[in-house]
Amino acid sequence: EAGVAQSPRYKIIEKRQSVAFWCNPISGHATLYWYQQILGQGPKLLIQFQNNGVVDDSQLPKDRFSAERLKGVDSTLKIQPAKLEDSAVYLCASSLDRGGEQFFGPGTRLTVL
């Protein structure tokens, strides 16, 4: 069974530029999560989808971050414009349903210069 796929694996941008990350969850998983992991910290949930609806986006900086999961399968996370403090690893995870075991992708390492 294929795991959670993410691309790109690495991205370097200048501050104030835009960037987008893509995630393809495990087939059949209804719940999709985006986490931000800053160096030296644990992953922090940014947004949780149940199918194509948002369950929790309380920690998403909505002035610059947006995410969508239009067809209830893959998802895109966008940052526009990026700030230096957005440098982090962005992890996507999926689970069969809410409360289920979360399977993580390898992450996208973003560096903002």
Residue ranges binding another protein (CB under 8 A) = 4, 40-45, 48, 56, 91, 93, 98-99, 101-107
Peptide bond between residue 43 and the one before it cis (omega within 30 degrees of 0): no
Query: Nearer Cβ to another protein, position 16 or 54?
Result: 54
Coil/strand/helix, residue 86? helix
Residue 86 C-beta: closest distance to another protein, Å: 19
H or E stretch at 95:
strand 88-95
| Positive/negative CA dihedral, 65, 47, 27, 110 | positive
Q: Whole-angstrom Cα distance, residue 57 to residue 73?
A: 18
Residue 106 C-beta: closest distance to another protein, Å: 5
Query: Nearer Cβ to another protein, position 5 or 17?
Result: 5
Query: Nearer Cβ to another protein, position 80 or 85?
Result: 85
Residue 15 C-beta: closest distance to another protein, Å: 25
Q: Whole-angstrom Cα distance, residue 66 to residue 76?
A: 8
The two structure tokens encoding residue 110: 């973003």
Residue 113 C-beta: closest distance to another protein, Å: 21
Query: Nearer Cβ to another protein, position 18 or 59?
Result: 59
